[in-house]
Structure 1
Amino acid sequence: MNRLLHALALTACLGALATPALSQQRAYAPENLRTLSQNDQVRVISLEYEEQSGGRRIPDDQLRFYLDQVNRSNWGFSQIKADIAQSLGGSPMPPQGGTVRCESVNNKAQTCRVPWSGPSRLVRKLSGAPCDEGRTWQSQRGQVYVGNGCRAEFGPAYDPGPTPLPTPLPGPVGGSVRCESVNNQAQICRVPWSGPSRLSRQLSGTACVEGRTWQSQRGQVYVGGGCRAEFVAASGNGGPGNGYSTTCSSNDNRRVTCPWPPSYGTPRLLEQLSRSPCIQGQTWGIQSATAIWVSQGCRGRFGN
């Protein structure tokens, strides 16, 4: 009998040694992952993600999040598998009152639709990068914006209903608001007007291009990618706004003067077209009521 038991045990050991690849291909693990070493926790979570994603590597911040949940919040393996499935399952519109996952992958900005009309709140942070409201995520009417690596789940801040306008900032509506992306970090600035905004004066060497490095939202302006500028209300400021524009180019870094029809009011930079910065007072300016100037390689589209 002892010889038989010994033979069976030896066969089992040899079988286990003969199939190491199988144990590496499937993320078999106990429900309580805290019984495993940290290296084994990393291995089974990584394998589970690879299996569900078709071979992709789990993002480092998502792996760190799962390890924290295992060792601090007692998540079981089944809960991790379900969460991985949700993270890989796309972003279908959830039922009213559910949650929406919105992720800034590789620090790229992302805007996600939500099914509620009011503001949103952060329900669960998934990233190692911080998710700070007003800095790396922002709630908007019907959507959530994330940036700088923030990955999180969001829910409605309160029962759905009409979204109130932002509280106006101090100062006249006809003034300007400076909004700056420092160290290429995204920034959202409130403005005292409820309508859209327009760029009044670029302050940065980095181009401020609407829809790319800045955009107007209801009661606020977003800047990113190093854009620093002053903004004013798109209507009610800066002339008749009849849509006239002209391009003025500094070729070979020379100072060039371009005509400007005085009947169209005060010109402003609509879009920087060159790699060289177009900064009012430094590389472009108003020569007179009938002309504008550019220099040092600035090439821009100017209008009112």
Structure 2
Amino acid sequence: MALQGSLADIALPDVIQLVSVSGKTGVFTLSGDGADGKIFIKDGQITDAVAGKLGGEYAVYEMAGWHKGQFIFTAGIESERVTINKSNTSLMMEAARRLDEWRVLQRKIASMDLVPYFLPREQGQDQITLSPQEWAIVTKIDGQLSIAKLEDATGLPAFDVCKVLYGLVTSGLIALRSTEEKPVQAVAVAPSQRSLLALAENVRKLADESVGLSGSIAVEKQYRIARAEIEAGGAMNSVSSLVDRLARAISLLEGGDKAGEFLRKVTPLLS
């Protein structure tokens, strides 16, 4: 008989702990909060998970926060891949930490349906410095997309998106409105030199992953050109040009498929 029940009656971490102790192999199938997911266990250890667009440990963290829905454990089913190498204890501790942080985030972000928009900035205010992840989110804010749609647009976990937005709200860079409120015209935010340098560095790392040691010299050369342009006052086009040059170099060194893979990875940071 399959182990099954309601997430409202028993939390997922408690069920996983029970199965772990028994050393079972199988898959948890969950449906809750308008989404579905699976957690695969082998000999009591979580090996793989998927929830919507999320995979691996981030899918586990997502599902650990579901408080509504159903779960069923089907024994004997294994995943063909291993995406999780952390112990169950480490996963559940991190999931608990994130749930605690979620409660803090919800003080300012009460719903994923809220729409972020930029607040006007007075001339002469300090330049804005953003990390690559913050930049990927900021470039999608247009005063129209809800937080849930930003999550889809960036491909980032909801937790990461909300954590960045919480910081932006706290710093006074953005505000949140309900979908019923009148849309506010988005205010363009020019990235600081530091943000552009961080973005170029992130692009360089993705290129290095595509070419390996054999092409690292070519990647470094193009990166240094872009860095010099940015330090001389270059804007976002310096990073865009870097991406174009690196894509051509990767295509010559590793082939078109590798270049395409590089562009797919880097595009969310630029669009």
The TM-score, its normalising length taken from structure 1, stands at 0.28
The answer to which structure has the higher helix fraction is 2
Larger Rg: 1
Which gives a bigger RCO, structure 1 or 2 (Cα 8 Å, sep 6+)? 2
Instruction: Indicate the structure with greater strand content.
Output: 1
